[in-house]
Amino acid sequence: MPELPEVETVRRGLAPVMEGAIIARAEVNRPDLRWPFPRDMGARLARQTVLGLRRRSKYILADLASDETLLIHLGMSGRMLVSGDPLGVFAHDHPAPEKHDHVVLHMDNGARITFNDPRRFGAMDLMPTSEAATHPLLARLGPEPLGNQFNEEYLVTALKGRTMPVKSALLDQRIVAGLGNIYVCEALFRAGISPRRRVNRIAARRIALLVPIVRDVLRDAIAAGGSSLRDFRQADGELGYFQHRFDVYDREGLACRAPGCTAKVARIVQSGRSSFFCPQCQR
């Protein structure tokens, strides 16, 4: 599933052709994805100006002139692809329709935004913009890891007294929004902390150091266009490249990349998810 860097990469790719433009027509080619689409979604999107695109956790939010906001979740295999861009950023002509093109937004500037999702685990919803923060998918999310509310004091306080493994704590969307398995593994490696270590067994200063490390990992991934492991594509159809820079994720049995380390990357399963780490560097 795309994590924060992949979703932010898609948002940035969509912004040049969607922000300030009008949705001339919206094709809705099926009644649902993971959940049913909202009532009359196509009609409610048509002729609406997109005031801005923002991201909350792993969701893209398109604020419309109608005072509604379109929520987009890519799910496991969803892609938002741009074609026919009049700004010249995207060199793709409009492709022939494909089987899994479930929602197509025809912009008045000539661009076309296609939401293609073979597995149909993605989602779209419409809500009043003023109530977006209380939407069931957004209401309980923690602070954004790249925002000011995610700081050293906050994380130390949020994790104080918890007995869960640190990997599980960082994946808890109520503690910090948008982090997923890939980037938590990478951040813990850079911090030298084992994913198995209980939070209450980690000194507060080491927890505090996780804040800038998490931010650096996310920024590095965004700069590389995210990570393409299976289905992820940027809005122009290109792959992300951060997977070529993984230190531990998906590198089980390979040599640790830390200078002077002779260990190999190990893999364990925690709460049904694979954790990759260096048993020598991470304690």
User: 283 lies in a domain?
Assistant: no
Report if residue 140 sits inside a domain: no
- Does the active-site annotation cover 2? yes
Cα–Cα distance between 59 and 173 in angstroms, integer? 13
Kindly state the average pLDDT of the residues 83-101.
Answer: 70
Active site residue 95: no
Would the pTM count as exceeding 0.75?
yes
In-domain check, residue 146:
no
Q: What is the mean pLDDT of residues 73-102?
A: 77
- Do 37 and 125 sit in the same domain of this protein? yes
Tell whether 117 and 11 lie within a shared domain: yes
pLDDT at residue 178 in the model: 95
Whether 130 and 184 map to the same domain: the answer is no
- Check pLDDT > 50 for residue 224: yes
* Cβ-proximal residues to 215 (8 Å cutoff; 6+ apart), any chain: 145, 146
The pLDDT assigned to 87 comes to 57
Domain co-membership, 109 together with 163: no
Catalytic residue chosen out of the listed positions 120, 198, 264, 273: 273
In the three-class reduction of DSSP (H, G, I as helix; E, B as strand; rest coil), residue 79 is classed as: strand
- Taking only the tens place, the pLDDT of each residue in 115-155 is 999 999 999 999 999 999 999 999 999 999 999 999 999 99
Average pLDDT of span 226-246: 53
- Predicted confidence at residue 227, as pLDDT, reads 58
79 contacts 228 by C-beta, under 8 angstroms: no
**In contact, 246 and 277? CB cutoff 8 Å:** no
Q: Given 3, 6, 8, 68, which residue is catalytic?
A: 3
Based on the structure, what is the number of domains in the chain? Answer: 2
The helix/strand/coil state of 269 is: strand
Residues 96 and 187 reside in one and the same domain? no
Full residue range of the structural domain in which residue 183 is found: 152-277
pLDDT tens digit sequence for 263-272: 999 999 998 8
**Hey, what are 146's tokens?**
């790249």
Q: Are residues 128 and 167 in the same domain?
A: no
Query: pLDDT band at 95, cuts 50/70/90?
Result: confident
At 100 the pLDDT is: 92
pLDDT at 97: 75
- Band of the pLDDT at 85, cuts 50, 70, 90? low
- Residues 13, 128: one domain? yes
Active site residue 252: no
Do 172 and 119 share a domain, yes or no? no
CATH code: domain of residue 53: 3.20.190.10
Catalytic residue among 11, 56, 58, 190: 58
Q: What local confidence, expressed as pLDDT, does residue 247 receive?
A: 93
Choosing from 2, 16, 145, 165, the catalytic residue is: 2
State residue 244's pLDDT score.
56
Looking at the fold, whether 114 and 161 belong to one and the same domain comes out as no
Q: Is residue 81 part of a domain?
A: yes
- Asked whether residue 255 falls in the same domain as residue 215, the answer is yes
